[in-house]
Amino acid sequence: MKLLTLSVHQLGELMERKEFSSEELTRVHLERISQVEDEIKAFVTVTEEAALAQARAVDQKRARGEELSLLAGIPMAITDNICTDGVKTTCASRILYNFVPPYDAEAAARLKGAGAVLMGKCSMDEFSIGPAEEKSGFFSARTPFAPEAAPGGSSGGAAAVAAGEAAFTLGSDTAGSLRQPAAFCGVIGLKPTYGRVSRYGLISYASSLDQIGPFARDMADLALILNTICGHDAKDSTSAAVAGPDFKKSLINDVKGLKIGLPKEYLANTEPRAAVKIWEAAAQLEELGAVCEEVSMPHTEYALPAHYIISSAEASSNLARYDGVRYGLRVDADDVLNMFSKTRGQGFGDQVKTRIMLGTHVLSAANYDDYYVKALQVRTLIKQEFARTFEKFDCLLTPASSTIAGQSRKETDGPLAAYWSKACNIPVNLAGVPAMSLPFGLVEGLPVGLQFIAPHFGEEILLRVGYTLQQNTEQTRLKPGLAC
């Protein structure tokens, strides 16, 4: 079924030419979902009826000759920590098992406004709190390349795009959840600059780190989606008062003269077979005219513990509202205090509880200065290190994951050990800069991803580098083993 592998703009153009209707396209995707979901498990909720109704509405508009976005009628899916009006949004947690938001997240509203058709909600780690990919409150997704392996990070959204269940998806990234899963599933994931996309309606895990972004199949799609979701939102204080540029203008097949840095510390920590692919990509970029150079970012090793402390602290506070009083799970008890503890005790999984306890510990008056304040200081140093590095380089090239799909360290190695697989992703969230994961060939049949990191609001460079590579090497276009 060819339709399932086409890009958004290809599908959009075909629908403009009336080759098929959005309803037909939606039905094809619904069929695909029912065919592969048992294995992929990318969705926690499929909104079949609503999707068909939305698709028919787009078809009617097209029949009336209304001017439509290229996204109109395109099947998409949204990760289950992004609120969707009238559609259950659970964060893959028992504690929110029945929560139906009365409003759309801003990014979801903008995509729906452009006519994109919501197929359903994608699976994730409970509240995105990894790193154990097996710890979803419900179940965990699989990469279509190797269904025995988890897709990495916390996003079924990457698996859904790779398996042809949706043409693109929206996810969030606190510790690499848009980039590692993209790498493991052979699709593109982009974490925009913090503040570039409104966080309104994104259920907070770690407020200062969380950022919404897309999974897509090619760079033109990425530009199209970014054009729709980026830009200031007056409802969100963290939304930057910066207008989104026209990202389509960044689809330039030229990297001549671009200075690309390769941070040593990232490569040193990476599974050697993945690291080899980075050098291969660097060679290719040099061939295309870029200048690649090694660079040292010595604070990198402190990013992980700092991120762990900051994200645990913020999570312990952000997750306090799930107390059984207003919505979600409530376990009745004799008095209100017991109701709180029983509800939270039964509603949260072990990973989440661990992080709440850690966060509570590091924020308590006795430990605050030793942990939380120190972590904030480290964060400042890391931001400064990025700023200094970007004085010399236009962007950085690193592995998108320090491990290969299905070979992430095991939960039994301890929580922090599993966290290490995101060591290449995490400094980016601390610094708030944008980064993109781009597929780059296979190692033993499993996809490997490149991560490009740009300065604040430098997404245009990411698109330009990605577009050039996509135009010049087949390695960036991967076909999953689970044939479409």
Partner 1 sequence: MSRYEAVIGLEVHVELKTETKIFCGCSTEFGQAPNTQVCPVCLGLPGSTGVLNKKVAELAARAGLALNCKIGAYTWFDRKNYYYPDLPKGFQISQVFRPIAYQGYLDIEVDGREKRINITRAHIEEDPGKLIHASGSIMTSRSSFVDYNRSGMPLIEIVSEPELRSGAEAKAYLEKLKAILEYTGVSDVKMEQGSLRCDANVSVRPVGTAALGTKTEIKNMNSFRAVQRAIECEVDRQIDVLEEGDSVVQETRAWDENKGITMSMRNKENPDYRCFIEQEVSPIELSDEWIKDLRATIPELPDARRKRLVAEHGLPDYDAGVITSSLALAEFFDATLEKFPEAKKISNWIMGELLRLLNARGMELSQSKITPAGLASLLELIEKGSISNKIGKEVFETMFEEGQEPAQIVKEKGLSQISDEGQLTRIIAEVIAKNPKSVEDFQAGKEKAIGFLVGQVMKATRGQANPGVVNTMLREKLAE
Listed ranges 216-224, 364-372, 441-449, 463-471: which one lies at the site for partner 1 (CB under 8 A): 364-372
Q: Which is nearer to partner 1, 5 or 317 (CB)?
A: 317
Helices 22-40 and 8-16, interaxial angle, to 10°?
150
Q: What is d(CA 48, CA 59) in angstroms, rounded to the nearest whole number? A: 16
CB of 266 to partner 1, least distance (A): 26
| Binding region for partner 1 (CB under 8 A) out of 217-225, 235-243, 289-297, 461-469 | 235-243
- Min dist CB 141 to partner 1, Å, is 22
Question: Which of 89, 169, 407, 476 touches partner 1 by CB under 8 A?
Answer: 89
* Site for partner 1, residues 102 to 161, rule: CB under 8 A: 102-103, 105
Check residue 5 for interaction with partner 1 (CB under 8 A). no
Q: For partner 1, which stretch binds (CB under 8 A), given 5-13, 81-89, 216-224, 445-453?
A: 81-89
The pairing of beta strand 168-173 with beta strand 75-79: parallel
- Beta partners for 82? 202
**CA end-to-end span of the chain:** 6
Structure tokens at 442: 């296979």
Beta strands in 59-204 (DSSP E): 75-79, 117-122, 168-173, 188-191
For the window 311-350, what string marks contact with partner 1 as x by the rule CB under 8 A?
--xx-xx-xxxxx-xxx-------xxx--x----------
How many residues make contact with partner 1 (CB under 8 A)?
46
- Those residues with Cβ within 8 angstroms of residue 408's Cβ, 6 or more apart along the chain or in another chain: 131, 133, 150, 152, 418, 421
Per CB under 8 A, the list member of 39, 48, 236, 254 interacting with partner 1 is 236
237 belongs to the binding site for partner 1 (CB under 8 A) = yes
Dist CA 439 CA 11 (whole Å): 21
When binding is defined by CB under 8 A, the residue of 5, 35, 69, 208 that contacts partner 1 is: 208
Q: Binding residue for partner 1 (CB under 8 A) from 238, 354, 471, 473? A: 238
Find the binder of partner 1 among 5, 35, 207, 471 (CB under 8 A): 207
d(CA 248, CA 253): 12
By beta-carbon proximity to partner 1, the closer residue of 68 and 242 is: 242
Closest among 93, 86, 168 to 123, alpha carbons compared: 93
AA letter at 50: A
Q: Pick the closer one to partner 1 by CB: 32 or 199.
A: 199
Nearer to partner 1, 14 or 331 (CB): 331
Q: State the nearest-atom distance from the C-beta of 372 to partner 1, in Å.
A: 6
> Does 199 participate in binding partner 1 (rule CB under 8 A)?
yes
Min CB(208)–partner 1 separation in Å: 4
Could you say whether residue 205 binds partner 1 (CB under 8 A)?
no
CB 403 within 8 A of CB 461: no
Task: Report which secondary-structure segment, H or E, holds 7.
Answer: none
Helix/strand/coil for 468:
helix
Residues facing 150 on adjacent strands: none
Residue 50 engages partner 1 in binding (rule: CB under 8 A): no
Cβ 175 vs Cβ 418: under 8 Å: no
CB of 320 to partner 1, least distance (A): 3
Q: Per rule CB under 8 A, is residue 170 in the interface with partner 1?
A: no
**Contact of 202 with 210, CB cutoff 8 Å:** yes
Residue type, 157: G
For 128: left if phi > 0, alpha if psi spans -120 to 50, otherwise beta; the answer is left
Q: Does 363 bind partner 1 (CB under 8 A)?
A: yes
What distance lies between CA 370 and its chain's CA centroid? Answer: 31
Q: Which residues bind partner 1 (CB under 8 A)?
A: 81-83, 89, 91, 96, 99, 101-103, 105, 199-204, 207-208, 234-238, 313-314, 316-317, 319-323, 325-327, 335-337, 340, 360, 363-365, 368, 372
